[in-house]
Amino acid sequence: MADAPSPQGSMPTLDDLRREIDRIDASMHELLMERGRIIDTLIQVKKTQVSGSAFRPGREASQMRVLAGRHGGILPFDTVEGIWRVIISTFTYVQAPYSVHADVSGGDAPMRDTARFHFGFTVPFVTHDSAKSVIDAVASSAGDLGIFRAEPGRAAGAWWTALAGADRPKIIARLPFVERPQHPAGTPVYCISKPIEDAAVRDIVLYALGIERWREGLQPALARIGATVESSAGGDAGLDLLVAAPGDVTLDALMSAMAGLGVGVFDIREIGSHAARFRLPA
């Protein structure tokens, strides 16, 4: 129960305010412990204490939108997002232990910042020297996650082709969820896991598209249906593209968009999906 308020019209004393802060801190701690007790029961009910079974990227994205929409006051949203991410990721780890594998070939510090901001310090962090190595590690794990940069442009190798196939890892998220300047962990990354179709969110669907060679007009044709070429790399059979399309665009519509351009498609396979990113309200 809160302490009795100061007499009407008077300012609270420093001791009054400190007692209120202590009360709020104690309440937050109790709520975290209560959350832990609920998760413990959830484990017993769902029998989910098996690695990899607790990820729900669609639910996380939805909760983040709610959190961003209702936030206000002097507390920076960076702090709120970071605390929320640590709570969610740590309790997920409690339900189903996992590690986060990261490609640090482009620099260790940004990827470590991203991993710690989004997954906290409890979850083990494992470094690799390529996206392909991260994909292989996730594929051979019981249920780990992997992250690597999602920067558009020409890639050194078509890592995304290693995600093609029913049993291969898939992209489940693009982080951070919320776009804003000076984000403390703003490096855009894809997050992969073993397939979790029942929990996937399909705002954006990603495809590994193999074509014989580049054609002028390809990007404008894809843009007309809302699709983009996120990355490209030369391959043995031609050119490998990473294509992102809205979730309501069918594979037939994607192929139709390229019809008439003389694009020789030799392969196209879905390699994952993720929530649409959104901007923090002004």
Is 15 strand, coil or helix? helix
CATH number at residue 264: 3.30.70.3090
In-domain check, residue 12: no
Q: How far is CA 246 from CA 57, 63, 77, 257, in A?
A: 17, 21, 28, 14
The low-confidence residues of the chain, meaning pLDDT below 50, are 1, 49, 51
Decide if 192 contacts 145 (C-beta within 8 A): yes
Q: pLDDT digits over 171-195, tens only?
A: 999 999 888 888 899 999 999 999 8
Matching residue, tokens 């961003």: 68
Residue 1's pLDDT is what?
Answer: 47
Domain that holds residue 214: 205-274
Total count of domains within the chain: 2
Please tell me the predicted confidence (pLDDT) of residue 141. Answer: 94
Q: Which one, of 84, 93, 87, 88, lies nearest residue 53 by Cα?
A: 93
Question: Does 228 lie in the same domain as 108?
Answer: no
> What is the C-alpha separation between 151 and 104, in angstroms, rounded?
14
Q: Which of 156, 176, 202 is the last residue of a domain?
A: 202
Q: Is the dihedral of CA 224, 225, 228, 234 positive or negative?
A: negative
